[in-house]
Structure 1
Amino acid sequence: MNQHPDEDATVAAALDQAQRWLDAIPGVTGVGQGEQDGRATIDVWVTDPEWAERLPREVKGLTVRVRDTGGPITPQ
């Protein structure tokens, strides 16, 4: 992904905002930067896909993609 400095700042701001969902929305277990069709995305991992309804479709102009963890995550 070739990003311009402005795009890097947008992605960083979007990730910062999405990180807050870890504490605010039950079932969100992780967030990170992804890519779809050559564009940056914010990927959000959830333990139950039904939590996707509580998430915005985009943040700071970047698409939010919901990823299913396949169930609860248990520390080992």
Structure 2
Amino acid sequence: PYRLVHTGRRWYFVALYVKRGQWRTFRADRVAHIQPTGQAVELLDPPDPALLVSRSIATGSYPLYVTVRLPLS
């Protein structure tokens, strides 16, 4: 993990997912185990942790389809 961020309700880890080269957020209460790799990672241009968390919880990473039914009158 790179940083720990509190949103007022929950705690999130911000971490670099090395295999994909992407910064990710993880809800701390859903993390069951952290396994150290022993590898050093150079953090080039890390994001603002609070901004990354706020963006990741504001939008889902998958499409959401909704059917809305309204009366015609």
Identify the TM-score tier after normalising by the shorter chain: under 0.3
Q: Could you state the TM-score of these two structures normalised by the residue count of structure 2?
A: 0.26
Higher strand share: 1
Higher helix share: 1
Which protein shows a greater Rg?
2
